[in-house]
Structure 1
Amino acid sequence: MSAARMASTPPAQLIAALSQLLGDAQLSAQTLPGTDIRLWLIDAEKMDRQFSPEETQRILEDPPYWCFCWASGLVLARWLAQNPEWARNKRVLDFGTGSGIAAIAAAKAGASEVVACDLDPLALAATRANAELNNVKLGYCADFFAERDRFDLIIVADVLYDRANLPLLDEFLSRGQQALVADSRVRNFEHPLYQRLGIMQACTWPDLAEPDEFRQVSLYHAARSLAATTC
């Protein structure tokens, strides 16, 4: 099968998973606003109807993170495109990669190595398909803690939506010299090593009509070298 043919059809595994979850929903290759990155995402035209109670329950129990590009991932991808020096010639790990948007952006920014990490096998399958769609090469892992301390940069988008996950902020610096964290749910990490670089506007794609507060994405940076100065 030719590369062009493969790129025109999403992987059968993803089609089957989405069909099980949402019945008639479909995937289509979409270019993300403000980027040159294309992803296999849920077709927005199929979002117009109301979900049945059964579908809603399935979505709540097992959210298909991999078939949306969440606002924080979009902000992180745009940031890396505008500031490629953050990733260029560096070893990067994308924690909770989801659709792979941030990992792909890091690869396009010139990273020497990018590892997409996610516990969800479907997220890794979607990221593989999306990497092929964008002609970039990624590595993959399902267990962050199995990785050695060898990365220059850990990138993270929309994983800290629950404050119970905040201890991960320290763990990121156990595997990488620096961390870039984008989040639209937790307003202030109140962590001594993380400094806010700015607040950017973005929405989840396809647009889920989320409240305006979730379109305000904060981007934080931490460097391990700062740890020594605070001890």
Structure 2
Amino acid sequence: MSPTATLQAALSELLGDARLVAEHLPATELKLWLIDAANMARAFNPEETRRILEEPPYWCFCWASGLVLARWLAEHPQWVRGKRVLDFGAGSGVAAIAAAKAGALEVVACDLDPLALEACRANAALNQVELGYSADFFQEADRFDLILVADVLYDRANLALLDQFLSRGRQVLLADSRVRDFQHPLYRRLGLLDACTQPDLAEPAEFRQVSLYYARRAQRQALRSHLPLMA
């Protein structure tokens, strides 16, 4: 079964009438297989709601943070050109695909969800790029120039990962629209950008404001050099 057929079958199990459509992302040259916006316009019955909550199909949306990263890389290809890149929590693969389009030497889409990796495969084919795939970030070697992270802080438990990203890459570029009290000594904010999840979920305006953060390993090493030695 092709990746697209696998995704359609999984989506149909959640919502019988749901279908995937290839959609152009606004202000980009990219296309993704996304859930048809018409499927989001009706009310869900209790059983459908239960299934969606138990196994959210994150991979059939392009979340605002991922869209911001894709646009940023298209406008600033020097961030990835000729570099080895890993997209953490890749979801639909939009950031990974944008990195490949911008001239990255290698791009690995990493996600725990097998369906997300299938979505990355289907979307990579749709955009005619090649990606590598990984289901376990911590099994990857410390060999990447840049770790991309988009919209993984919706669960505040994931804030602990901020200290881990630099264990596999020399730099991190992170986009987030959820954490309003973001504070971390390794990360500095590059800017605040506007984007809307596709298809539009009519999210509050605050979730359309995406912060872009940057960290690099040299900062971590410098910070450690100023910390007191532990016994």
Q: Which bracket does the TM-score occupy, shorter chain normalised?
A: over 0.9
Gaps of 5+ in 2: 225-231
Residue 29 (structure 2) pairs with residue 36 (structure 1): yes
User: CA separation in 1, counterparts of 2:162 and 2:154?
Assistant: 13
User: CA separation in 1, counterparts of 2:138 and 2:120?
Assistant: 20
1:223 is aligned with what amino acid? R
1:194-209 correspondence runs (5 A):
194-209=187-202
1:80 match: secondary structure? helix
Q: Which of residues 218, 221, 224 in structure 1 aligns to 2:214?
A: 221
Q: Look up the match of 2:229.
A: none
Shift of 1:72: 0.3
1:92 is aligned with what amino acid? V
Q: After alignment, is 184-193 or 115-124 more displaced?
A: 184-193
2:124 is aligned with what amino acid? A
Where does structure 1 differ by over 3 angstroms across 4 or more consecutive aligned residues? none
Shift of 1:142: 0.2
1:179 match: secondary structure? strand
Q: Which of residues 159, 162, 169 in structure 1 aligns to 2:155?
A: 162
Q: Look up the match of 1:92.
A: 85
Q: Which of residues 124, 136, 139 in structure 2 aligns to 1:143?
A: 136
Offset from partner CA, 1:78-114 (integer Å, 9 cap, x none):
0000000001000000000000000000000100000
1:199 is aligned with what amino acid? L
Shift of 1:10: 7.0
Q: Which of residues 50, 54, 61 in structure 1 aligns to 2:54?
A: 61
1:123 match: secondary structure? helix
Shift of 1:200: 0.6
Contact 2:3 2:121 (C-alpha < 8 Å) held by counterparts:
no
1:97 match: secondary structure? coil
Shift of 1:189: 2.5
Q: After alignment, is 71-80 or 157-166 more displaced?
A: 157-166
User: CA separation in 1, counterparts of 2:3 and 2:148?
Assistant: 26
2:191 match: secondary structure? strand
1:187 is aligned with what amino acid? R
User: CA separation in 1, counterparts of 2:187 and 2:19?
Assistant: 39
1:169 is aligned with what amino acid? L
Structure-1-length-normalised TM-score:
0.94
Q: Which of residues 98, 105, 115 in structure 2 aligns to 1:105?
A: 98
2:129 is aligned with what amino acid? V
2:164 match: secondary structure? helix
> Cα RMSD over matched residues?
1.1
Shift of 1:224: 0.4
Shift of 1:155: 0.1
User: CA separation in 2, counterparts of 1:207 and 1:116?
Assistant: 24
1:69 match: secondary structure? coil
Contact 1:166 1:189 (C-alpha < 8 Å) held by counterparts:
no
Q: Look up the match of 1:192.
A: 185
1:108 is aligned with what amino acid? K
1:191 match: secondary structure? coil
2:71 match: secondary structure? helix
Residue 167 (structure 2) pairs with residue 174 (structure 1): yes
1:166 match: secondary structure? helix
Residue 123 (structure 2) pairs with residue 130 (structure 1): yes
Matched residues, number: 223
Contact 2:3 2:118 (C-alpha < 8 Å) held by counterparts:
no
